[in-house]
Amino acid sequence: MRRGSGADVADAPGLPLSTPERVRVGILMMVGCSMIFASLDATAKLMGAYYAVFEIVWLRYTVHVMVMLAVFLPAMGLRMLRAHHLRWQIVRGLILVLCTGLSFTGLRLMPLAEVTAISFVTPLMVTLLAGPLLGEKVGMARWGAVALGFAGVVIIVRPGSGIFGWAALIPLGLACANAFFHILSRKYAGADDPVTTLFFSGLVGAVLASFALPFVWKTPAPEHWPALLLMGLLGGGGHLLLVLCFRRAPASVLAPFTYTQLAFATLIGIFIMHHMPDRWSLVGMGVIALAGLYAVGVQAWEHRSRRRRVAAGLATRPMAD
C-alpha cells in the first residue's frame, strides 16, 4: 500500500504469533485500509477543486495528529512522544508529506483510478532501490516484475498520445518518493514504537504545511468542513488500521490485498465521479497489478527457499557434546 509502509510494524520484534483466525482478520483489515485510502484520495480530489494543495495537506495531517493524541496519549503518556531516532523520524515525515503533496496534486490533474494505478509501481521501485540502498540481491525474476510494471505504466500513459502529458509524471514521482519512504522504513524497522512513528509522520506533515498555510489559506465553506475533516480522520484512521493489520498477519500475506485499493479507486471513479477508464487504461492497470502480484509471489518463494536452506543447515549440523 502506497500510504506508508508496514515495514515499521511488520518487522518489529515481539509481535503476537499469527494464527489462521488472526490472519483472516488482518486480511479483512487490509481490504478496509484499501477502501479508506481510496476514499481519502477521492475526497482530496473533490476538495482540490476548491482549495490549494498545501491547505488540504495541512488539514489532513493536523486532524491525523489530533486523532493520534486522542487515541494513544491517554494510554501511552509521554512514551508516545519518545523517539530514539528523531532525525530518522523527521526525514521519514518529510518524505511522507512529499508523497501526500504529489498525490493530491496528481489527483487535481488526472482521474483517480489512473493516479492510483501509476502510483502502484512503488513496490517495483523498491525492488530497483533495494540493491544499491539495502544491499539486497535482486534476481532476474524481480527484474522481470519491474519491467512488466513499467510496461503497464506506458500502456496507461501512452507517450505521444496527448492523453495525460506531463501530468503523468506526478504519480510516477509519487511512486519514486514512496519507494524511498518504504526503503527508509525497512532499514530502520523496529527502531521506535510504531505508534510513535505514526505520530511523528503526522506531526512533521502538519508543521511543514503550516509554513505555506498563510499564503494559500482560504476559509472553507461551511458545507466543505465535513469533507475536509473527514480527510484527516480517513488518513489517521487508515494508518492506525494499517498498524493493526500488520500486527495480525505477515506482510507477505497481506501484500496482494493492497491491490484492492485500485479496484476501489476504479469503482469510486465510475460511480461517484462518472469517469470510466478507457480500454487501454484498464489493460495497463491490470498489467501493473499482475506485476505487483508476481513480485510478491517471487518474494514469498525466495523467503520459503531461505527458510528451507536454514532448516536443512540446522538438520545437518553436528550436535555439540
pLDDT in tens, 204-228: 999 999 999 999 999 999 999 999 9
Residue 302 falls inside a structural domain: yes
Which residue has cell 544491499?
A: 135
Share of the chain above pLDDT 70, in %: 88
Structural domain count of the chain: 1
Please report the pLDDT score of residue 189 as a whole number.
Answer: 62
Residue 2 falls inside a structural domain: no
Please report the pLDDT score of residue 185 as a whole number.
Answer: 73
Residue 188 predicted with pLDDT over 80: no
**Dist. CA 307–CA 66, nearest whole Å:** 42
Task: Tell how far CA 109 is from the center of its chain.
Answer: 20
Copy the grid coordinates of residue 177: 518518493
Count of residues making up the chain: 321
Residue 273 belongs to domain spanning: 7-314
pLDDT band at 301 (very low <50, low <70, confident <90, very high): confident
Pick from 321, 315, 295, 317: nearest CA to 139: 295
Three-class SS state of 219: coil
Q: Whole-model pTM?
A: 0.82
Residue 319 falls inside a structural domain: no
* DSSP string of 7-24, one letter each residue: HHHHT-TTPPPP-HHHHH
Q: What kind and span of H or E run contains 90?
A: helix 86-109
Taking CA 309 as the corner, what is the angle to CA 307 and CA 312, rounded to the nearest 5 degrees? 110
In sign, the C-alpha dihedral spanning 126, 129, 131, 133 is: negative
Please report the pLDDT score of residue 211 as a whole number.
Answer: 94
Give residue-wise pLDDT tens across range 114-160: 999 999 888 778 777 777 776 767 778 878 888 888 899 889 888 76
Torsion from C-alpha of 216, 219, 220, 226, nearest 10 degrees:
110
Phi-psi label, residue 165: left if phi above 0, alpha if psi -120 to 50, beta otherwise: left
List CB contacts of 28: < 8 A, sequence separation 6 or more: none
pLDDT, mean of residues 181-206: 82
Among 63-67, 99-103, 128-132, 284-288, the least confident range: 128-132
Residue 320 falls inside a structural domain: no
pLDDT, mean of residues 232-243: 85
Residue 6 predicted with pLDDT over 60: no
> How far separated are the first and last CA of the chain, in Å rounded?
49
Torsion from C-alpha of 293, 237, 38, 6, nearest 10 degrees:
-20
Please report the pLDDT score of residue 146 as a whole number.
Answer: 82
**Dist. CA 298–CA 303, nearest whole Å:** 9
Residue 275 falls inside a structural domain: yes
The mean of the pLDDT values for the chain is: 84
pLDDT band at 11 (very low <50, low <70, confident <90, very high): very low
Residue 261 falls inside a structural domain: yes
**Dist. CA 106–CA 100, nearest whole Å:** 10
Please report the pLDDT score of residue 316 as a whole number.
Answer: 58
